[in-house]
Amino acid sequence: MKRIAAIATLLFFTSGLSGQISHGGDPVTSSGSLSTSIPVVSTPKVDAHFLRSEDAVTDLHKDIPPRFGVVQTVSINLQNAGSWENLPNGDKVWRLEIHAPDAISINLNFSGFYLPQGSTFFVFNQFQTQGAFNYTNNKTTGEFSTAPIRGDRAILEYYEPAGVQGQGIIELESVVHGYRDFWKQLKAFGSSGSCNVNAICDTTYWGNEIRSGVMLLTASNSRFCSGALIANVPQDGTPFVLTANHCTPSSNNIFMFNYQSPGCTTTTDGPLTQTISGCTLRATDTPSDFYLVELSSIPPAGYNVFYSGWSNVDVAPTKGTGIHHPVGDVKKISHDNDLLVSAGYYSAGNDHWQVVDWNSGTTQGGSSGSPLYDQNHRIVGQLHGGDAACGNDAFDYYGKFSVSWDNSANTAQQLKFWLDPGNTGANYSNGYDPNGSAFSLDAVLIDVSGINRFICGDTIRPKITFRNHGSTSLTSLKINYQLDGGGISTVNWNGNLSTYDVDSIMLPAIYVASGDHIFSTSCSDPNSSTDQNALNDTASVAFRSNADPTIAALYLHTDNFGAETSWIVRDASGKIYTQSTGYQSVNGGEQITEYLCLYDSCFTLVIKDEYGDGFCCTFGNGSAYLTDNFGDTIFSNTTFNSDSLVIPFCIAKNSIDEYSLDEFNLFPNPSNGLINVKTNNASDYQLTVFDAMGRTVYHEPNMNSGTANIDLSHCRKGIYLVQVLGESGRQVRRLVLH
């Protein structure tokens, strides 16, 4: 028989022992000394086409972990299947071949597993080998599981020395028939949405938290979810993993660390060799959809893991970051640069954080259970579900860490008992690195807040947050900042931060003119010395200020399910200019007035409904209307009953000179396309008409008679702006074509 090269892959650890790592070596079969005839057990065929049709529906829901395999129940042990062969020295070998017809992969779940000292266990085929496993792989639960192995056949080999004969236990409970490609289609290296960002791209600032991320198999190791290794208050390295309740982890699940591409461009797959099998279920609850498990062993130093920090304070974070495995792909990172919203899960309530819209990346099926970090790099929730995807601006919902903390007095339904076993009353943890910091002095500038993407007014007041990544306590630091590449200002910070502690400093008010700006900042001179890692010392924020705003008003009356309602305003380039912050679901609906800080330009308002039935009329009679800065109604709607309502509009101040409104007449308005324009004198004017996207649809450079007749009958119905420009100023009027 052809020699099968063993590779040390994929497995595992055991509680209280040296670790559940595969130990290398070759199966006895590869020596050619055994019979070439091995008994075969075949599992039933599966209807892969039907299963994929089911997946096409369920894959659309993040609160259903994606499936890659079907669990086939078996009852196989050393006594009722396979064959034994005696070796010349009295040792024995048991072998069995599992055949899952047309499977892309096979993985195995054992209800009974015990290897006496000196024995070994292999799982292998012509593609790869898993093993050798030995007595250090035994777990107190008596369970065992293997990660997927390529192909539709797998050979099991158990070698038992003469001195321990009869002591071994191998009881195979189920075979997972992989009908979707674990390596290409679903574990889907490179198959997640194109807007997703490889986590490795953000290593400079998020490298620690990225090392916490884990992909786990669930549902008898046939589905995917995400999670994170999380620190406890004593920071003793207890290997807790936080994931989602709907991921339903079990004691025999597999946890995969460091499955990530080594570069920003997804051209290289990540390793699947750093895994742990098995856990103890510690706490779970449904309101915030959390599950806390303790791994069967501490990850070894070679895994280079980080235990993420957390916050149990119920205060809306100013930013949100997610680290996850969408559809089982290599680890990704997503950022929301806006304030998180307290909400229910598609309903009224406040047990979830709502990410209104991701600024980079998104989440997908398989991202469930992944951590949501605040601006201080602390976990504040785990992904429950939502509709966000590449190409939309929909919500995502994360169960609140603050609710999971002690919402229930039952210790099996709270995080507090497990993460703060000494009942210290801690409100946060900054994380724990079992391998220690790589630098003695390393200050990291982790966040700039106080500068929205769009500033309504002429003042910013930046808040700079920094973190000590060095092994030495941080006692002093310089914060340097500048606006638009101008002069550099410096403020000094003094304090005492231990490793991974966080602090912040508020800068003086900075006055800015209207327009686009870049605020840049850096930290330097930690402890009056040189920072040993300068790569993480800088940050910048691009923003637009509106020192002379034009205010519009959106009057919104939701239906009974206002939590489903949201809106965004996009500027003429398509970028989000401002957006809603979340509403409540109440009988009779909620009446809201939102003042929009705009400027002279054209915009698009998009009102969205997560359920797809708008605000009319089954669950209440909602309405929306928008007025300009003169109080004139730009649009109104009482019949919205779909998933989105798109309203392009333009807005402008009346005049920048001393004209009165009577000096520029536009009639009829509304119009069918034939319009008269008249001014009160015959001075030279330019006449321009813009559509709702700011494009010129008519231009008259010399309106020297004081009157003009415009034919816009070729234009679409909608809202337009008519501008008259002269030497002494300009006026703009809104025109409606119907």
CA distance 174 to 69: 12
Most confident of 7-16, 122-131, 335-344: 335-344
- 70-76 average pLDDT score: 97
Distances (CA, A) of 503 to 323, 456, 465, 499: 23, 28, 6, 12
Tokens standing for residue 620: 């209440």
Outline which parts of the chain fall under CATH 2.60.120. Answer: 28-178
Greater model confidence, 528 or 694: 528
Distances (CA, A) of 668 to 432, 673, 734: 70, 9, 12
Which of the residue ranges 52-56, 206-210, 476-480, 675-679 would you say has the lowest mean pLDDT?
A: 675-679
Range 661-737 classified under CATH 2.60.40.3080: yes
CATH number given to 197-429: 2.40.10.10
Q: How many residues does the chain have?
A: 738
List Cβ neighbours of 409 (8 Å cut-off, separation of 6 or more).
none
Whether residue 459 is predicted with pLDDT greater than 80 in this model: the reply is yes
DSSP letter (8 states) at residue 533:
-
Note the pLDDT of residue 188: 41
Q: Can 111 be counted among the known catalytic residues?
A: no
Note the pLDDT of residue 4: 29
Q: Which of 594, 607, 728 is nearest to 657 (CA)?
A: 728
Tokens standing for residue 625: 């209307």
Q: State residue 327 phi and psi, 5-degree precision.
A: 45, 35
Residue with tokens 């920072």, as numbered in its chain? 531
- 403-419 average pLDDT score: 97
Residue with tokens 């509304």, as numbered in its chain? 670
Whether residue 91 is predicted with pLDDT greater than 60 in this model: the reply is yes
Whether residue 114 is predicted with pLDDT greater than 60 in this model: the reply is yes
DSSP letter (8 states) at residue 206:
H
> For 343-390, how does the pLDDT look when each residue is reduced to its tens digit (9 = 90+)?
889 877 899 999 988 999 999 999 999 999 999 999 999 999 998 998
Note the pLDDT of residue 186: 39
- 225-229 average pLDDT score: 97
Residue with tokens 């890692």, as numbered in its chain? 533
Q: Which of 430, 373, 427 is nearest to 405 (CA)?
A: 427
pLDDT band at 26 (very low <50, low <70, confident <90, very high): confident
Q: Which helix (H) or strand (E) holds 405?
A: helix 401-406
Tokens standing for residue 737: 């074509």
pLDDT band at 14 (very low <50, low <70, confident <90, very high): very low
CA distance 676 to 369: 62
List Cβ neighbours of 421 (8 Å cut-off, separation of 6 or more).
232, 233, 234
Bridge partners (DSSP) listed for residue 129: 124
Q: Can 61 be counted among the known catalytic residues?
A: no
Whether residue 658 is predicted with pLDDT greater than 50 in this model: the reply is no
Outline which parts of the chain fall under CATH 2.40.10.10. Answer: 197-429
Whether residue 662 is predicted with pLDDT greater than 60 in this model: the reply is no
pLDDT band at 51 (very low <50, low <70, confident <90, very high): very high
Contact 364, 389 (CB under 8 A): yes
Note the pLDDT of residue 18: 30
Whether residue 633 is predicted with pLDDT greater than 80 in this model: the reply is yes
Q: What is the largest CA-CA distance in the chain?
A: 116
Of the residues 91, 152, 285, 289, only one is catalytic, namely 289
Outline which parts of the chain fall under CATH 2.60.40.3080. Answer: 661-737
Tokens standing for residue 242: 């936080």
**Which runs of consecutive H residues, i.e. helices, occur in 113-229?**
203-210
Which of the residue ranges 35-49, 287-301, 404-418, 654-668 would you say has the lowest mean pLDDT?
A: 654-668
CA distance 355 to 386: 9
Residue 88, classified by CB atoms within 10 Å of its CB into exposed (0-12), middle (13-18) or buried (19+), is exposed
Whether residue 20 is predicted with pLDDT greater than 80 in this model: the reply is no
Which of the residue ranges 57-71, 314-328, 515-529, 702-716 would you say has the lowest mean pLDDT?
A: 702-716
Look at the domain 28-178 and name its fold: Jelly Rolls (2.60.120)
Tokens standing for residue 186: 């679903």
- 150-166 average pLDDT score: 95
Of the residues 246, 324, 384, 469, only one is catalytic, namely 246
Note the pLDDT of residue 656: 35
CA distance 463 to 505: 6
- 163-168 average pLDDT score: 96
Q: Dihedral sign for Cα 447, 450, 456, 460, please.
A: negative
Three-state DSSP class for residue 613: coil
CA distance 22 to 275: 10
Tokens standing for residue 87: 């070796």
Whether residue 708 is predicted with pLDDT greater than 80 in this model: the reply is yes
Greater model confidence, 474 or 733: 474
Outline which parts of the chain fall under CATH 2.60.40.10. Answer: 443-546
CA distance 106 to 123: 10
> For 581-606, how does the pLDDT look when each residue is reduced to its tens digit (9 = 90+)?
667 778 888 889 888 888 888 899 99
Q: State residue 544 phi and psi, 5-degree precision.
A: -120, 130
Q: State residue 496 phi and psi, 5-degree precision.
A: -155, 95
Claim: this prediction has a pTM higher than 0.85: no
Q: Can 289 be counted among the known catalytic residues?
A: yes
Strand ranges in 599-691 using DSSP code E only, listed in sequence order: 601-609, 623-627, 633-637, 644-651, 664-667, 674-679, 686-690
- DSSP-derived pairing of the beta strands 454-456 and 538-546: parallel
> For 534-555, how does the pLDDT look when each residue is reduced to its tens digit (9 = 90+)?
999 999 999 988 887 888 889 9
Whether residue 657 is predicted with pLDDT greater than 60 in this model: the reply is no
Note the pLDDT of residue 663: 62
CATH number given to 443-546: 2.60.40.10
> For 476-512, how does the pLDDT look when each residue is reduced to its tens digit (9 = 90+)?
999 999 999 999 999 999 999 999 999 999 999 999 9
- 86-113 average pLDDT score: 96
Q: What is the DSSP string of 438-502?
A: S-SS-EEEEEEES--SEEEBSEE--EEEEEE-SSSPEEEEEEEEEETT---EEEEEEEEE-TT-E
CATH number given to 550-651: 2.60.60
pLDDT band at 628 (very low <50, low <70, confident <90, very high): confident
Q: Which helix (H) or strand (E) holds 48?
A: helix 48-58
Q: Which of 413, 248, 411, 266 is nearest to 326 (CA)?
A: 266
pLDDT band at 249 (very low <50, low <70, confident <90, very high): very high
> For 284-303, how does the pLDDT look when each residue is reduced to its tens digit (9 = 90+)?
999 999 999 999 989 989 99
Tokens standing for residue 722: 């008519």
Note the pLDDT of residue 729: 66
> For 462-479, how does the pLDDT look when each residue is reduced to its tens digit (9 = 90+)?
999 999 999 999 999 999
Task: Supply the mean pLDDT for the chain.
Answer: 88
Tokens standing for residue 686: 């330019």
Contact 684, 704 (CB under 8 A): yes
Determine what percent of the chain falls in helix, strand and coil, rounding each to the nearest 5. Answer: 10, 40, 50
- 629-658 average pLDDT score: 78
Greater model confidence, 630 or 91: 91
Distances (CA, A) of 688 to 602, 677, 710, 718, 720: 14, 11, 10, 16, 10
Note the pLDDT of residue 5: 28
Q: Provide the terminal-to-terminal Cα distance of the chain, rounded to the nearest Å.
A: 82
List Cβ neighbours of 342 (8 Å cut-off, separation of 6 or more).
314, 316, 350, 352, 353, 354, 400, 582
Bridge partners (DSSP) listed for residue 213: 228
CA distance 702 to 696: 16
Percent of the chain with pLDDT over 90: 59
- 392-397 average pLDDT score: 86
Q: What is the DSSP string of 300-342?
A: PGGG---BBEEE---S--S-EEEEE-GGG-S-EEEEE-S--EE
Tokens standing for residue 399: 């169960």
Distances (CA, A) of 343 to 247, 264, 321, 352, 354: 21, 34, 18, 5, 6
Note the pLDDT of residue 392: 82
- Phi-psi category of residue 718: left, alpha or beta, with phi > 0 → left and psi -120 to 50 → alpha: left
Contact 182, 148 (CB under 8 A): yes
Which of the residue ranges 397-401, 557-561, 578-582, 670-674 would you say has the lowest mean pLDDT?
A: 578-582
pLDDT band at 660 (very low <50, low <70, confident <90, very high): low
Note the pLDDT of residue 13: 29
Outline which parts of the chain fall under CATH 2.60.60. Answer: 550-651
Contact 134, 168 (CB under 8 A): no
Of the residues 105, 145, 250, 368, only one is catalytic, namely 368
